[in-house]
Structure 1
Amino acid sequence: MLTPLDIQNKEFKKTLRGYDAKAVDLFLDEVIEDYEKVYKENIELKDKVNLFSDQIRHYNTLEETLKNTLIVAQTTAEEVISAARAKSQNITDEAEINGDKIIELAKEKVRDVKAEYEYLRKEMFSFKTRYQSFIEAQLITLNNFHREIEEKSIVNKSTKEDIDKNIDEEVSEEELQYLHENKKLDNLGA
């Protein structure tokens, strides 16, 4: 590309029938001036184009970075969501398993308590029956003993009084007390 200096330094050969040198020089001066303006404008526009190209490259790089960032963010979000779902599923599954274990343990405890209750109820019934039989037998024995005493007491009342008198006379008070205590003990054992 020609520069304004190239145009200015250009020299033409002179010929006989050539153009008017002054007119050519004036015209060339005008061309140089206009060309210089266009040339400067062209340089400025090239600089602007280069600047805009740099900015476009920068924005394209930024756009690519943002796209990659968005893709990474989306992938990360999907992974986080997937991990959260898996974790929540694990927690739910574990809770259900623990719940089932707790329910099974509770059922087992209920069975144990029921079995113990039945065992204690049978033992209580057995104890009640034995104790009732024992008390009834003791009542029968006591009634028989009381009846025998009353029968003997009527028959032997006079004999007993005589024996007691004879004993009282022959036995000291300590011995008498000892005999009465032993007699009470004998009555209790019968």
Structure 2
Amino acid sequence: MPLTPLDIHNKEFGRSFRGYDEDEVNEFLDQVIKDYEVLIRENKDLQNQVTALQERLDHFANIEETLSKTIIVAQEAADEVKNNSKKEAQLILKEAEKNADRIINEALSRSRKIALEIEELKKQASVYRTRFKTLVEAQLELLSKDDWKALEPVESDTDNRSY
């Protein structure tokens, strides 16, 4: 157990014949007591400072740990957002591809339908042309027959009279 200033103050030395001067010893002990008390106070102050610094260090260590955890959580959240964004982009891309395929298929279907309609119209035009040609040829044939001459009016002299 360490000495206290009271221990030093209460210390009694035995007397001997040729011993030390009692006043000098007492003065020296008083000085030791004062110095010892100063050292004890300084030691307590230093211990208090160490305690305060340790508390601050613990506080900063807690802040560091909290920040570290926060950074980890933020990184995980960022990774999750990134992954979700990638998945969403893939879904959007697949949907766009589906729509593009649907639009292309509809366009191809319309194109085929229009091509069939064009072919049908060409056939109808060809049939119409053939019928019209046949009709015109029949009409020309009728016009070129001699029967028409019989239908023509005969010119008589009375028609050419001059008055």
Shift of 1:161: 5.5
Are 1:123 and 2:124 counterparts?
A: yes
Q: Deviations over 1:11-70 (max 9, x none)?
A: 53x744385532331121121121122111101111110111011011101001111111
Shift of 1:138: 1.6
Are 1:94 and 2:102 counterparts?
A: no
* DSSP 3-state at the match of 1:71: helix
Please tell me the residue identity of whatever aligns with 1:10: N
Residue equivalent to 1:58: 59
Identity of aligned residues (%): 34
- State the superposition RMSD in angstroms: 2.6
Are 1:44 and 2:41 counterparts?
A: no
What is the TM-score normalised by the length of structure 1?
A: 0.72
> How far apart are the structure 1 equivalents of 2:11 and 2:82?
80
**2 and 114 in structure 1: CA distance in 2 versus 1, 3 angstrom threshold:** same
Question: Larger radius of gyration, structure 1 or 2?
Answer: 1
Are 1:10 and 2:10 counterparts?
A: yes
CA contact (8 A) 2:8 2:29 kept: yes
Task: Report the structure, 1 or 2, having the larger helix content.
Answer: 1
* DSSP 3-state at the match of 1:111: helix
* DSSP 3-state at the match of 2:16: coil
Residue equivalent to 1:110: 111
What is the TM-score normalised by the length of structure 2?
A: 0.82
Residue equivalent to 2:138: 137
Please tell me the residue identity of whatever aligns with 2:10: K
Query: Mind listing any 5+ residue stretches in structure 2 that lack a counterpart?
Result: 159-163
Shift of 1:101: 1.0
CA contact (8 A) 1:8 1:28 kept: yes
CA contact (8 A) 1:7 1:32 kept: no
Please tell me the residue identity of whatever aligns with 1:45: L
Query: Mind listing any 5+ residue stretches in structure 1 that lack a counterpart?
Result: 165-190
